[in-house]
Chains A and B, each alone.
Chain A
Amino acid sequence: MPPGSTPMVAILLITHSRSGPKLVFHYPSEPRLPSCGNAGDAADSGNADGDIWNGNGSVARLRRGSYGDGEVVRSTEASPTKNANDYAADGKVLGISVDSLEKLLSPGRWCDRKKFEVCLDGLTFVSYPVYADPEGKWSRSHERGTDARLKDRPTTPRNASGTQFADQHRIDNEREPGIIITEPTSAKSIQDFAHVPDSLDSRGGLSLGNSENSGSTASAFGPEPLTAFHVVFALSTSSKQHEITEEVYEQLAKKLSKALAYCQKQSSYVGVENRRLSQIQAKSKQDGTSSQIPCSEMVENSELASALGVIYDKVCVGAVAAFHLNGIEMSLQLHHSEREDASAFIDRHFTVLLLEDRDDVLRGLSHPEASPLAYFIREHTPTKSLQKQATKLGIPVNNLIYLAQHLVRWQKARAIAPLHSRNTYIVGRGAPLDHLETHISAYAKRFAGLPSLPQMLKVLGGRPVKYGLLIPSRDHQGPYMDMLAYLIRHKFVERLETSGWLQAPPVLLKKPMVNDEPNKNRRPISVASLLSPQLRPIEDDDTASISSERTAIPVSIMDTIRRPDSATQTMSPVLSADPPTTRMVKDPLNSTDVDIVCLEHIREAVEDEDLRERLPSLYPYFDGDGALEDIAAREGLKRSTVDGWLDLLQKDGFLLTFRHV
């Protein structure tokens, strides 16, 4: 199961009329059943053991269908193909006869606009049933739904800044036409509804104008008006069953059903589609054609069926499903909670990296030439932070953050630290080596004449170097940064980050630290090894550090309880007289008095004036967590200046860094 996907098995559309529930459509035509009860752990070869271990042995016996009714219950050996054949042969869906399935999935009015969830032996069905009012009318009773839609509209800076956008860019932003990748609840859907050309002939007579009468319109379509409908999502049981069911309910079932309820209220949409699908079903039954044909025919002829198909196909691979309902554009996707958290806020010092080609993203917009989003996409560059881009484009940064979040939420972009040639990038853990061949050719096509993907992997997968050193000339800067964007986008490489702490070497601490130091028996740390960013402690030309290197071993021997070596004992009295040690400021934000003294000493010892002045504002970055590479962007300083300062601090032994990925 790829990341971000769900264990979705099928989507079913069930409608209710006076004659009872009816399974009108399901997608795919032959749903694959999970191979066993614990489908989510299908890769788990030890499953059978697990069951036994749980004291579950009796289950197998029950499932074997040793009962009088002779019903062969889906056993663990049942293969998907067999189930598929079952369906084709005897009209079963998911191994259950259509009749039973319809009954299983027809809750009463108690479930109207509430969560409906049934779990049947490894399959979870979840939906949000919508009922007509007790008289069978749709129009009045669902005002509530519309209210909810309005209430759900995002309350983001967008609304506040909309006019500003329009003023600045002379864009008719009233309906935000550019943002097509929008949630179903946005106001735009409602407004677009009137003018979207009807692609389906039978809906010709229905429009906003007669929506008042749509209740009676619905009844005109057949003797059995629709009393309820629900779209049921069938999921296979997985280890995270509970969370996934909740996500599917909240993000797919509920949103889709609410949208359908709106369409139904406006123009009897579900009723019309229901009738159309039933006709196709009836026709195929008459003709005696096989069961697959109506499914593809339904998808071709019914907008709703094709929408359900798109939802299934896309959600299964963790992508955004974009479709039309009654001509209204709508998008759905499953946010896994962690992803949602990640996209909740994008720092202004970050930027976004488009995950598709710029032109492809623009093509997806309904008004690519004139919308703030399109403008942002066209002008955006992953090498500049949102803050800088805002200044450049003359757009308030909060608006850019909103647009960036929108792109991230709909999987068109990913938040990243701005790309910079002074950063070091190395081959990432998640590099998609399984799809290397595809990438090699795609990359070669795109960056003809530049180093090939394998060559880049070799260079970036060796000893780490600053990316800028790979760029042969200034003219190559652009293409090389594009290459880097490609590599980052596909997760071939990631940034090697540096974090660290400020520290006061013993020399600085001699006077004030003698009393404060809790552990007096510390040996002086090898300054040489602290200084060197790479592995050159011995070659360091600082003579003091070499002497401390020499003393290191005897001192550490000295302060242990066991002193096996008499030779070192003779040295210890001399050294223990003055045992100051390097003091690291672990938490500069909650620094102790001693830490404050240390920081003050460090600041005073810094020779560069600019740095001395600026240093206190940089303290928070030296907490061991944040990347030192981000300092320049966050503080609005030149990267080369900051790098120079960090080098100075390292050279003087005031900075202890480590690199991590």
Chain B
Amino acid sequence: MLEAVFYARFHPERGPSVIHQYPEASILSATPKDSKLLDFSDISSWVIPAYELCNRSLAVCTNGHRILGFPVSLENESYERTRFTYNVCFVLSEDADPRQWDSVVSKTAAFFTDIEQADGLLQAEEQLDGLKWAGEESYPAEDVGFVYTLLETIFCELNAYGEACVQVADSQVLNLRLAVPVPATSHVRAWDVPLLIRGLPNADEWTSDLALQRIQAYVNGINHIHRIAELADMEIKLVVKTVQELLRHKRVMLLDIFHFNAIYTLTIDFAWFAKDEAMQQECSRYVAKPTSIAIEHQTLVTLYRNLGPGISVRDFYSSHKTQLEHIDIRRFITFGVIKGFVRRIHKYALAVDSQSIPARNSLSDGSPTKAQPGLDSDAERDRAWRKAAFSSGWATPPPEPGANGQDLEAVQRRTPPLVEVEDESRDVSLVRKYLDGRHCMDEICVALHLSEQQVLNQLRGSDVLFFDK
């Protein structure tokens, strides 16, 4: 909630002065009995600071108010003392979140700069006959100048609608909107599985994001980021960026890769599920196989409670085959993960022989784009080629002759043979990099294009221990 807005400048004779303000007596007033928001003399040195501090946002708090400003200092021979320093300040309550106002403040400053540099409107305003300055008797003078009206519109419209639109001259229009706080971006890794939780706009209308158009078909709650990149024939970091954007807008959520070796456990939120009939109803609808019947709520509760550390989905499934007959096991697990009462326990590998643990920085686990699979020369060549192709605008060849690049099965079929022809010893050395206990099995599998069983086979006989976390 904006409490006041004012336009102040450094006056060669008067020093820092408020020229216009809205509401009329918010900062300076002719009659001392008016209640002012703050004492301008306290903060004048932050409203009009040293030149060095100008042209960047500067806010100060006083008397329970936060004054957001963006002091601008223009240098030109035509100005008195060759300088014109001014600031349009927004007064908020000190407790208000200033972040969503930052762009409004800086944009207003930029607008004032534009109208001054293009048409000299700010300087011209002060030459007008009959102009009253803030704090003078009978301020504001009616129909003199434009700045007061401009401030009034900004104030009223921003408070009423959160946005404002003011036209000053034919070509000078100020559009403001309070920024919606942008949540911090989550980390998206190559082995995360994005799942759409809200529909996307029609792809035909959604033309601005080409990357999104391209991956949209593959975001299905099953494909992980790396596979989406392969299927859509895109660079993985573009996919990551697009998914991050979707996350930011709460269009997707990230799941783990579902497979039968995965282990899931309950969280304390399961109590909530067990008590909530509506949630169980929702679950029952979600997990039932298409042609099947509705699932008993009690069955669901019973089934879920049997998940736990040390029990893989395979074990779970084989022990509860009968009860799971009408249940899609993947959706069953996914539902719990989406609702937050089930979470994945990842398997980690640790080489016991400390010499085989690589140095800390040998493999960055920070960025999914860096922790790329198969950093061998083939993959690098392939990536270089793709990069060149992307930058040149060519279409890259499909992953396999005959495959159309959209066929999941094709990719799956393609993967194992590729691995089999690889040199066995080199594979082991590739796996070795991940055995420092910092990389989960999903990451290793995605990076090396192997199944968990294949990784385990490769490590058979070596001094590696596994633990779930």
Q: Is A535 an interface residue (CB 8 A)?
A: yes
Q: Is B436 an interface residue (CB 8 A)?
A: yes
Task: Return chain A residues, CB-CB under 8 Å to B144.
Answer: none
Give Cα A121 to B52, complex, Å: 13
Q: Is B118 an interface residue (CB 8 A)?
A: no
Task: Return chain B residues, CB-CB under 8 Å to A617.
Answer: none
Task: Return chain A residues, CB-CB under 8 Å to B299.
Answer: 525, 552, 556
Q: Is A454 an interface residue (CB 8 A)?
A: yes
Is B98 touching A119 in the complex (CB atoms < 8 A)?
yes
Q: Is A633 an interface residue (CB 8 A)?
A: no
Is B107 touching A58 in the complex (CB atoms < 8 A)?
yes
Among A43, A110, A119, A457, the residue within 8 A (CB) of B39 is A110
Contact stretch, chosen from A148-156, A383-391, A421-429, A509-517: A421-429
Among A46, A464, A537, A557, the residue within 8 A (CB) of B320 is A537
Q: Is B221 an interface residue (CB 8 A)?
A: no
Encoded as 1 (CB less than 8 Å from any B CB) or 0, chain A from 95 to 126 comes to 01101100110011011000111111100000
Task: Return chain A residues, CB-CB under 8 Å to B175.
Answer: 55
Encoded as 1 (CB less than 8 Å from any B CB) or 0, chain A from 537 to 554 comes to 110000000000100110
Is A582 touching B298 in the complex (CB atoms < 8 A)?
yes
* Cβ distance B438 to chain A, nearest Cβ, rounded Å: 5
* Cβ distance A496 to chain B, nearest Cβ, rounded Å: 7
Give Cα A337 to B305, complex, Å: 34
Q: Using a Cβ cutoff of 8 Å, how many contacts connect chains A and B?
A: 263
Is A121 touching B298 in the complex (CB atoms < 8 A)?
no
Is B465 touching A59 in the complex (CB atoms < 8 A)?
no
Is A457 touching B467 in the complex (CB atoms < 8 A)?
yes
Give Cα A120 to B468, complex, Å: 47
Interface size on A, residues (CB 8 A): 102
Give Cα A273 to B436, complex, Å: 50
Encoded as 1 (CB less than 8 Å from any A CB) or 0, chain B from 156 to 190 comes to 00000000000000000001010100111101000
Is A427 touching B468 in the complex (CB atoms < 8 A)?
yes
Is A67 touching B323 in the complex (CB atoms < 8 A)?
no
Query: Which residues in chain B, 437-459, are within 8 Å of chain A measured between CB atoms?
Result: 437-438
Task: Return chain A residues, CB-CB under 8 Å to B304.
Answer: 658
* Cβ distance A572 to chain B, nearest Cβ, rounded Å: 13
Is B438 touching A434 in the complex (CB atoms < 8 A)?
yes
* Cβ distance B156 to chain A, nearest Cβ, rounded Å: 20
- Size bracket of the B interface: 35 or more
Given A58-B106, A660-B266, verify A110-B62 contact (CB < 8 Å): yes
Is B315 touching A535 in the complex (CB atoms < 8 A)?
yes
Query: Which residues in chain B, 229-251, are within 8 Å of chain A measured between CB atoms?
Result: 241, 244-245, 248
* Cβ distance B42 to chain A, nearest Cβ, rounded Å: 5
Measured CB to CB, the nearest residue on chain A to B178 is: A54
Contact stretch, chosen from B43-51, B121-129, B419-427: B43-51
Task: Return chain B residues, CB-CB under 8 Å to A562.
Answer: 293
Q: Is B97 an interface residue (CB 8 A)?
A: yes
Give Cα A581 to B436, complex, Å: 51
Is A100 touching B465 in the complex (CB atoms < 8 A)?
no
Task: Return chain A residues, CB-CB under 8 Å to B52.
Answer: 71, 96-97, 100
Query: Which residues in chain B, 314-342, are within 8 Å of chain A measured between CB atoms?
Result: 315-316, 319-320, 322-323, 325-326
Among B95, B110, B438, the residue within 8 A (CB) of A61 is B110
Task: Return chain A residues, CB-CB under 8 Å to B54.
Answer: 67, 69, 71
Given A104-B53, A239-B184, A437-B354, verify A624-B46 contact (CB < 8 Å): no
Measured CB to CB, the nearest residue on chain A to B322 is: A553
* Cβ distance A532 to chain B, nearest Cβ, rounded Å: 8
Among A49, A71, A624, the residue within 8 A (CB) of B275 is A624
Encoded as 1 (CB less than 8 Å from any B CB) or 0, chain A from 61 to 74 comes to 11101011111011
Among A51, A242, A464, the residue within 8 A (CB) of B308 is A464
Task: Return chain B residues, CB-CB under 8 Å to A59.
Answer: 103, 106-107, 110
Q: Is B274 an interface residue (CB 8 A)?
A: yes
Give Cα A53 to B271, complex, Å: 41
Is A68 touching B57 in the complex (CB atoms < 8 A)?
no
Give Cα A107 to B46, complex, Å: 10
Task: Return chain B residues, CB-CB under 8 Å to A58.
Answer: 106-107, 110-111
Given A45-B241, A104-B46, A659-B265, verify A54-B103 contact (CB < 8 Å): yes
Measured CB to CB, the nearest residue on chain A to B369 is: A45
Task: Return chain A residues, CB-CB under 8 Å to B97.
Answer: 242
* Cβ distance B77 to chain A, nearest Cβ, rounded Å: 9
Task: Return chain A residues, CB-CB under 8 Å to B59.
Answer: 118-120
Give Cα A493 to B60, complex, Å: 47
Among B39, B305, B310, the residue within 8 A (CB) of A658 is B305
Q: Is B56 an interface residue (CB 8 A)?
A: yes
Give Cα A55 to B103, complex, Å: 7
* Cβ distance B239 to chain A, nearest Cβ, rounded Å: 13
Query: Which residues in chain A, 66-97, are within 8 Å of chain B measured between CB atoms?
Result: 67-71, 73-74, 96-97
Contact stretch, chosen from B9-17, B68-76, B408-416: B68-76
Task: Return chain A residues, CB-CB under 8 Å to B322.
Answer: 549, 552-553
Among B274, B306, B309, the residue within 8 A (CB) of A529 is B306
Q: Is B371 an interface residue (CB 8 A)?
A: no
Is B306 touching A535 in the complex (CB atoms < 8 A)?
yes
Is A41 touching B185 in the complex (CB atoms < 8 A)?
yes
Q: Is A295 an interface residue (CB 8 A)?
A: no
Q: Is B133 an interface residue (CB 8 A)?
A: no
Query: Which residues in chain B, 100-135, are within 8 Å of chain A measured between CB atoms?
Result: 102-103, 106-107, 109-111, 113
* Cβ distance B54 to chain A, nearest Cβ, rounded Å: 7
Given A121-B56, A429-B469, A457-B467, verify A658-B270 contact (CB < 8 Å): yes
Q: Is A167 an interface residue (CB 8 A)?
A: no
Give Cα A454 to B52, complex, Å: 57
- Known contacts A462-B466, A556-B299, A660-B266; can you find 6 more A-B pairs with CB under 8 A? A49-B245, A538-B319, A556-B294, A586-B274, A656-B302, A661-B267
25 cross-chain CB contacts under 8 A: A44-B185, A46-B185, A51-B103, A56-B103, A58-B107, A59-B106, A62-B56, A62-B70, A63-B55, A67-B54, A68-B83, A71-B73, A118-B59, A242-B95, A428-B469, A431-B469, A457-B465, A463-B311, A535-B306, A552-B322, A553-B322, A556-B296, A584-B274, A625-B271, A660-B268
